[in-house]
Amino acid sequence: MSSQKAFQDYYADEVSYCYGCGRLNEQGLQLKSYWDGEEAVCTYRPLPQHMAIPGYVYGGLIASIIDCHSTGTAAAGAYRAQNRAMDTEPALRYVTASLHVDYLRPTPIDSDLVVRARVEEIKGRKIVVSSELTAGGQLCARGEAVLVQMPEEWLEGR
Amino acid sequence: MSSQKAFQDYYADEVSYCYGCGRLNEQGLQLKSYWDGEEAVCTYRPLPQHMAIPGYVYGGLIASIIDCHSTGTAAAGAYRAQNRAMDTEPALRYVTASLHVDYLRPTPIDSDLVVRARVEEIKGRKIVVSSELTAGGQLCARGEAVLVQMPEEWLEGR
């Protein structure tokens, strides 16, 4: 997957400062999402400080990764649905209307977190994305996010 | 509220490293929760890097605050239900089983985020906590979390 350009690398500079997934946010997580067939994949290795209790990842990081990866998957899925490349105009960007995470088991901090997401539904400006987070091959969390297309004015020189 | 001890300040050292609310996690958010009548309140001022797009908070931070404040509120609520102080044994600590956040409007980054939470239901080892996040007096997000009592062995010298 490393030869692909990540979804987030297509975002205009003005919308590339997100703490979770902005490539220009130097203190952020700089999450990257890629297609793998019908699924979009995001892999992140937690830092030692991202713990809940020693040995396990805190829930907010899991929610953050699922959130940002879902907005990216929504954008990429919307381009796919229109048969357009992500560097074509008009730009399609999404914000989160709701996020649901089920924490199924404690998530070990000493392995890569792999989130695989899928576009479940596209309805007008709204997209539903489901996801699963695994660590060391074990399913640790499930997510469902509802994303809404960002108003055009947010993309115009904010 | 500042003369009160925060819920998180009662946690044993072993469970005080959470990135969101652990008082011993030097790189974390060090969230603090306090009773205000029937509600529990947590106030956090986002850092400049916690943006989604310039001027607004990223969703992962909102989810993180709601998550940690809900686990704290569950613990404090469980002690209240047992008419016990938080420094009495056996210790009651909670982990998140599920988290739902509705993002109602973009959340401005230049003001305090105030989350007010309420215990909705205590049923055996499970507690439901609802919450509202305001910024500058405007309601920006709603949360609902289901928390489960942490297994005793996690609290014993992990």
| pLDDT tens-digit readout, A42-71 | 999 999 999 999 999 999 999 999 999 999
Contact A101, B62 (CB under 8 A): no
The rounded mean pLDDT for chain A is 94
Assigned token pair, B64: 């993180």
Q: Do A158 and B18 touch (CB under 8 A)?
A: no
Q: Which residues of A touch B68 (CB under 8 A)?
A: 58-60
Residue type, B154: W
Contact B104, B143 (CB under 8 A): no
B55 vs B99: CA distance, rounded Å = 25
Q: How far does B3 lie from chain A, in Å, by closest CA?
A: 27
Say yes or no for a CB contact (<8 Å) between A59 and B52: no
User: What pLDDT band is residue A156 in, cutting at 50, 70 and 90?
Assistant: low
Q: Is the pLDDT of residue A158 over 60?
A: no
Residues 6+ apart with CB under 8 A from B33: B6, B7, B8, B21, B40, B41, B42, B68, B69, B72, B73, B76, B117
Task: Say yes or no to pLDDT of A37 above 90.
Answer: yes
Q: What is the ipTM of this complex?
A: 0.95
Whether A67 and B59 lie within 8 Å, measured CB to CB: yes
pLDDT at residue B84 above 90? yes
Is the pLDDT at A40 greater than 80, yes or no?
yes
Strand partners, B149: B94
Give the model's confidence band at B151: pLDDT under 50 very low, under 70 low, under 90 confident, else very high: confident
> Is the omega angle on the peptide bond into residue B90 within 30 degrees of 0, that is, cis?
yes
Q: Which of A15, A28, A54 sits opposite B158 (nearest CB)?
A: A54
Specify the pTM: 0.96
Q: Is the dihedral of CA B50, B51, B57, B60 positive or negative?
A: negative
Question: Using CB atoms, which residue from B19, B95, B101 is nearest to A99?
Answer: B101
User: Tell me, what's the pLDDT at B158?
Assistant: 41
Residues in A touching B52 (Cβ below 8 Å):
18-19, 95
Q: Per-residue confidence at B156, pLDDT binned at 50, 70, 90?
A: low
Q: Are B53 and B62 in contact (CB under 8 A)?
A: no
The residue-averaged pLDDT of B20-29 equals: 97
CA of A120, closest CA in chain B: separation in Å? Answer: 18
Q: Is the pLDDT of residue A78 over 60?
A: yes
CA distance B48 to chain A (A): 10
Q: Is the pLDDT of residue A106 over 90?
A: yes
Question: Nearest CA to B74 among B8, B140, B132?
Answer: B8
